[in-house]
Amino acid sequence: MDVKVEEMLDRVAEICRSARALLFVTGAGISADSGLPTYRGMGGLYERHLTPEGLSIEQALSGATWAARPELTWKYLAEIEANCRGAEPNVAHRAMAELERRHPGTVVFTQNVDGLHRRAGSRNVIEIHGCLHRLRCVECGRSRQVPDFAGLALPPQCPACQGLVRPDVVLFGEALPDRALWDFERAWSRGFDMVFSVGTTSVFPYIAAPVIWARQSGICTVEINPGETCVSDRVDFRLKARAAEVMAGLMDRLQSS
């Protein structure tokens, strides 16, 4: 990290020491440090313009395509899962889990569907886009967790009712899950002392909103991202570096105090 980032991180650590509750808004950039591709949402996988079927990846992974051709949507969900298989939580995920233990009001609000925050030990996780490894039957509603898609017949059937099964994720064009939105509203109503935007470009309004609301309310805001984002000019501290590097530096400072 450069000198400017190091100096800002000193100040962020000082504020963090006295914080009661932290909010981490995370995106694909944090999982990139675990080796995951960052597609435009799942990273770098789909730089080509169209799939072999003549669709954009957003069309292939849309609610409309799921309704008409579920086997096609499953094809690309399985491709994404295969590229993510074997990934482990990195130092940034583990740091957030440790900060939750130190500051019990801490919440992770993530766009990621890889489940790495929970695997790292975070408990207060709101997965606004769902989780790729949680499968749900569209007929009877039964759900189950799977470690990966290896051995699954695609598209899989529900073992209970033989209905069609899908990963419990938000496809393009689908509404955000009510339960996750309610969980976030309740968490926000309890209050946070710091809001971190980590590894996300914040292009969705509901991802940028917590940073904007916090800044308007006088809550300390921090962005961790090597690139320019939609909230870069709206935060108190802009740390232009990768998530794992910055979170490791933050924990070093907090542990030495």
Residue 103 bears catalytic tag: no
The per-residue pLDDT for range 197-225, each reduced to its tens digit, is 999 999 999 999 999 999 999 999 999 99
In a domain, 245, yes or no: yes
Of 146, 35, 42, 45, nearest to 92 (Cα)? 35
Please give the mean pLDDT across all residues of the chain: 92
| 3-class DSSP state of 5 | helix
The per-residue pLDDT for range 73-110, each reduced to its tens digit, is 999 999 889 888 889 999 999 999 999 999 999 999 99
How large is the average pLDDT for residues 127-139? Answer: 95
**pLDDT value at position 257?**
60
Backbone angles phi, psi at 134, to 5 degrees: -105, 115
In a domain, 121, yes or no: yes
The CA-based dihedral angle spanning residues 55, 173, 93, 48, taken in that order and rounded to the nearest 10 degrees: 20
**pLDDT value at position 38?**
62
How would you classify the pairing of strands 107-110 and 237-239? unpaired
Provide the percentage of residues in the chain whose pLDDT is more than 70.
Answer: 95
Helical ranges in 87-142 per DSSP H: 91-102, 116-120
In a domain, 196, yes or no: yes
Of 7, 11, 27, nearest to 224 (Cα)? 27
Catalytic one of 49, 103, 117, 129: 129
The whole-angstrom separation of Cα 170 and Cα 217 is 30
Instruction: State which amino acid sits at residue 192.
Output: F
**pLDDT value at position 42?**
42
In a domain, 48, yes or no: no
The per-residue pLDDT for range 45-55, each reduced to its tens digit, is 555 568 888 89
Question: 13 lies in which domain range?
Answer: 3-36+88-129+175-255
How large is the average pLDDT for residues 10-16? Answer: 97
In a domain, 232, yes or no: yes
In a domain, 70, yes or no: no
In a domain, 68, yes or no: no
**pLDDT value at position 256?**
77
Residues in the chain: 257
Enter the pTM of the model: 0.93
Of 226, 202, 225, nearest to 214 (Cα)? 202
The whole-angstrom separation of Cα 85 and Cα 149 is 9
CATH of the domain at 110: 3.40.50.1220
- Total domains, the chain: 1
In a domain, 159, yes or no: no
Asked if residues 231 and 212 have their Cβ atoms less than 8 Å apart, the reply is yes
CA 137 to chain centre: 23
Of 32, 7, 25, nearest to 226 (Cα)? 32
DSSP string, 232-253: GGG-SEEE-S-HHHHHHHHHHH
The whole-angstrom separation of Cα 132 and Cα 36 is 14
